[in-house]
A = this chain, B = another copy of it.
């Protein structure tokens, strides 16, 4: 931070990179000693003894990860939410982040101010601080890369590959709201009550990373992942890397009242609930003997934690060839899923 990186292009009237950093971003780093006021080439991160650093990187591109006309507030909230959700899935406590911002030339001070303002609110809510980064101009869409740092006691991080046959499968909160919210924004759901529509859109626009849940799962969950690509796809990652098949009862997957109302209007949306992304809930596995501890954690956090199935050993010659998620309805019938989650290319 603090150094311009542009080489091939000319100027314009918006404040230059130094001014943008000084005015809007340096205040976000004011309380971080290792940020050096964003004046140096790099930042320092200090950790308490016995703690281990966890790092995650996510890039959001306008028009790919959110609509081009998304507000700066929503983009900032999504950025922080998506990144902290990855830390939550590892059981890590958020510490700091760096941000690399590629800003289209027609984004002026007003946009940047609103964006930085929401970053400040998110920092306060999650006790996390900007410690470095850079700002560059782009002729392409807005592209923001966040690298986020968390800490966890050494060797205690939650992994995807720790689930064992017999483990119970849990999911936090409610599933499918965000993907339905995006459908509402695209006018794809006809006749939905306005109140429900608002709830769903809110869940899409303001992801709430389950940071406290992640911390509570350290030493309890055998594996965890956040639901960013869709419940079936993400649970599939856990099952595959653990050498298991995840058997779930789709009728036990918790839906909000708003999501239930949407599915009642159009039954085909139920598949979207199971395979759509952006919920940022956690799906995790625990040993059968720890059921009571999960109930106690749910009560302490005032967050529903719902048992939706269990793990069994993967069948077949190769664990990678078995279907990772076996989704059935209450009657035991296999639920056909045309797709298991969004993919990129």
Contact = CB atoms under 8 A, between A and B. Distances in A.
Interface of A: 2-9, 11-12, 14-18, 20, 36, 39-47, 52-61, 63-67, 86-87, 89-90, 92, 98-102, 105, 131-141, 143, 145, 147, 149-150, 157, 159-161, 182, 225-226, 228-229, 233-234, 237, 241, 277-278, 341-345
5 contacts: A17-B344, A44-B157, A57-B134, A57-B147, A58-B100
A275 to B, nearest CB: 12
A241 B101 CA distance: 24
A102 B101 CA distance: 13
Contact of A145 (B3, B12, B100, B226): B100
Contacts of A41: 56, 86-87, 89-90, 160, 225-226
Contacts of A44: 52-55, 157
Contact of A43 (B55, B140, B143): B55
Contact of A63 (B20, B39, B139): B139
A344 B56 contact: no
Contacts of A131: 55
A133 B229 CA distance: 16
A233 to B, nearest CB: 8
Nearest to A179: B7
Contacts of A140: 61, 138-141, 143
B7 A182 contact: yes
A194 to B, nearest CB: 24
A134 B58 contact: yes
A340 to B, nearest CB: 11
B132 A55 contact: yes
Contacts of A54: 42-45
Given A42-B150, A55-B132, A105-B345, 4 more contacts: A8-B66, A40-B90, A44-B53, A59-B102
B138 A6 contact: no
A3 B277 CA distance: 11
A270 to B, nearest CB: 19
B136 A61 contact: yes
A345 B6 contact: yes
A149 B149 CA distance: 12
A79 to B, nearest CB: 12
A46 B52 contact: yes
A8 to B, nearest CB: 6
Nearest to A344: B6
B3 A64 contact: no
A278 B66 CA distance: 34
Contacts of A90: 40-42
Count chain B CB atoms within 10 A of each CB in A7, A60, A98 and give the residue with the most: A7
B56 A132 contact: yes
A8 B65 contact: yes
A168 to B, nearest CB: 21
A2 to B, nearest CB: 7
Count chain B CB atoms within 10 A of each CB in A3, A52, A149 and give the residue with the most: A3
Contact of A5 (B11, B58, B100): B58
A57 B92 CA distance: 21
